[in-house]
């Protein structure tokens, strides 16, 4: 089962602002839908990491970042390019791995 890496707000912001494509997985330990997708997150990460930097954020531990970017629903996957949000999926609903991969594929030109 995938275990997200915990980061400070500063490290999350650094990852958001890295040049290129950066995908954030936003979750929380108490979130049932987050737990439901965790068995599949490593496969999602392996696929996305071929073309983007991947990093994790925790909705509670990184509340300042989540608030700044108006991220309320979890689990969420958020794509940033050169520090700007491009797209996101997940607004509090249960996601399937295929939905996440289809979303990411749709963001590639």
Mean pLDDT, rounded, of the chain: 95
Residues 16-68: tens digit of each pLDDT: 999 999 999 999 999 999 999 999 999 999 999 999 999 999 999 999 999 99
Identify the structural domains of the chain with CATH numbers, from first to last: 9-108 (3.40.30.10)
56-108 residue pLDDT tens: 999 999 999 999 999 989 999 999 999 999 999 998 789 999 999 999 999 99
31 is catalytic: yes
Q: What is the DSSP letter of 89?
A: E
Three-state DSSP state, 60: coil
- Return the CA Rg of the chain: 12
Task: Please tell me which residue in 16, 31, 44, 71 is annotated as part of the active site.
Answer: 31
Report the percentage of the chain scoring pLDDT > 90.
93
Strands of 20-74, DSSP E: 21-27, 53-58
> What is the crossing angle of helices 97-106 and 32-48, to 10°?
50
């Amino acid at each position: 089962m995938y275990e997200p890496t915990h980061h400070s707000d500063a490290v999350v912001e650094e990852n958001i602002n890295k040049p290129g494509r950066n995908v954030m997985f936003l979750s929380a330990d108490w979130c049932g839908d987050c737990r439901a997708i965790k068995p599949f997150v490593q496969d999602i990460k392996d696929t996305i990491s071929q073309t983007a930097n991947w990093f994790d954020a925790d909705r509670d531990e990184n509340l300042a970042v989540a608030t700044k970017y108006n991220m309320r629903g979890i689990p969420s996957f958020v794509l940033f390019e050169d520090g700007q949000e491009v797209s996101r999926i997940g607004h509090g609903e249960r996601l399937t791995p295929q939905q996440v991969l289809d979303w990411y594929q749709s963001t590639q030109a």
